[in-house]
Structure 1
Amino acid sequence: MADRLLSVPEAAERLGVGERFIRRLITERRIRYVKVGKHVRIADSVLAAYIEQRTVEPVRTRRSRYGVAA
C-alpha cells in the first residue's frame, strides 16, 4: 500500500507545530519530501520516522528515600 502524501498544513497539524516549522525543515533538508509540480508533499512514513528519531526515552534513576547528609 502506498504512503499517504501530506500537504504542509496537514504535516504541521500532525506534528502539532506551525507550517513555518515544516517549511524550515524542508528548506534545511532535515526531512524528506516529494515535489509534485510546484507543491511539496511529505509522506506519512517520513513523519513517523521523524517522530521516532526524535523521541527521547525517560531516564530513571534510583533515588534515595532520604536526603543527602550535610
Structure 2
Amino acid sequence: MASALEGIEEAWLREHYPFRQMMEEGIYPLMEDDEAEEFFDYIYMYFKAIREFYQQASASASCVVFYIS
C-alpha cells in the first residue's frame, strides 16, 4: 500500500477528482453548499496523512490490516 500511494501526487489526484459526479451521486460527506476546491483541500489533507501512515508502517516493517466494505 505504501508503494502504491507513494506515486500519487496532488496533480494526479486533482485530475482524477470528480467533484460534480460525487455531488450528483450523493457521495458522503458532501453537502449541497460544499465547494469543489475547498473539498479537495479537505480530502487531500487526509490523503497525505494516510500516505504518511502507510510509509511509517512500511519503514518499521509493521503490518496494517484494513477492511473495505
TM-score range, shorter chain: 0.3 to 0.5
Higher Rg: 1
Kindly indicate which of the two structures has a greater share of residues assigned to helix.
2
Q: Could you state the TM-score of these two structures normalised by the residue count of structure 1?
A: 0.36
